[in-house]
Structure 1
Amino acid sequence: MAYLTLFLTAFAAATLLPAYSEIMLGTMVTQGFSYWWLWFSATLGNTLGSVVNGIIGRQVDRFKDKKWFPISEMQLHRARNRFNRYGQWSLLLGWLPLGGDALTLVGGIMRVPWLNFVILVAIGKGLRYAFVLWLVAEASSP
Structure 2
Amino acid sequence: MLLRRRNQYNNHRGFTLLELLAVLSIASLLLAISIPLSNHLQMKHEEKLFLKQFQADILFIQQQTMTTGIRHSLTFVNDHTYKLYTYQQGQEIIGEVVLPSHMTVQTLTSSSTIQFNEKGTVLRPGTLYFHSPNTTYKAVFTIGKGRCYVTKL
Greater strand share, structure number: 2
User: Max radius of gyration: which structure?
Assistant: 2
Q: TM-score, normalised by structure 2?
A: 0.31
Higher helix share: 1
